[in-house]
Amino acid sequence: MKHHLKRQLRRLATERPYQVVAASAAALVVASTGGALLVNADAAEAPARPETAAVAEIAPRANDVASRGEVRAATTPSASPSATASPTATPTPKASPTASPAATAKAKAKAAAKKAPNPDLTPAAKKPPASKLLDYTYEAQTTFYYCGPAAVRNALSASGVRSTQDDLAVALGTTEMGTNSAEDTTRVLNQMVKGNPYRTTMFAGSPSAGQIDGLRADVVRSVAAGRGVVANIAGDATDTNGGWHSFPGGHYIAVVGYQDNGRTVRIADSADPSLPAYWISVTDLANWIATRGYSA
């Protein structure tokens, strides 16, 4: 009987671990029931086969060996779909937040500003010289009422524009009563000069300190850019040499230069060919323009 048990255990030791456990349990049962059941070796093997078959139904056969983990998974009840863990997803790189259209536009504007040249460093934006005299050609008025056309013609010559007093008189609407106002000289100057650079400034009465400064700035800006200024004047004025100039009925003159940052200005006067030009303070010029206007 002992020899028979040893053979049985050696045979089962070659089986799978779970078969050893089942056979060992069966052997213990046989041993406990007495020698009659163990006398017949064939009868002792019979109860073990259903156990082996039952385990074989759960796990693969010897030629398709499964790991212990696979056997445990096969004998564990199937988990519900909700309890099944989803596959671990690969972390997605965090996307940077999308900038708003306003922020994008601001960034583009900032980049463009960095690339654009500094306007303060461009030649056109440089500080104007303290003094400048335009290269112009002078012509005295051909009739007593052509002061308007003559002043416009003299100013245009500094810009390289050629025209006749007769043609300008037609454009200005000049008659024997003269030329109406600085609005007309501004209109015709802009017709002849590219870019419409001229603007009209009118003085309702005696000019204020601010208006005098504005006239000085306009003269410097225009002359520095190569353009003459046309002023509609009336009354009397004295130049820097003491010369006296009187036009009680009104007159037109061209401003073709300046000194001392515009505090003194150069006048091209078509009234007297014997005195074609003279210097006058910008304050006296402003008072001469009082109640009228200028084109700059």
Q: Would you list the domain boundaries of the chain?
A: 2-75, 132-295
- Per residue in 101-158, pLDDT (tens digit) is 656 666 665 565 454 444 434 455 689 999 999 999 999 999 999 999 999 999 999 9
Amino acid at the residue 121:
L
Is the distance from CB of 220 to CB of 264 less than 8 angstroms? no
Express each pLDDT in 233-277 by its tens digit.
999 999 999 999 999 999 999 999 999 999 999 999 999 999 999
Closest CA to 283 of 195, 222, 221, 212: 212
CATH, domain range 132-295:
3.90.70.30
What single-letter DSSP state applies at residue 79?
Answer: P
Q: What angle do CA 161, 266, 288 make, to 5 degrees?
A: 105
d(CA 184, CA 173): 8
Which uninterrupted H or E stretch holds 216?
helix 209-224
DSSP notation for 243-286: -EEEEEEEEEEEEEEEEGGGTEEEEE-SS-TTS-EEEEEHHHHH
Q: Is the pLDDT of residue 53 over 70?
A: no
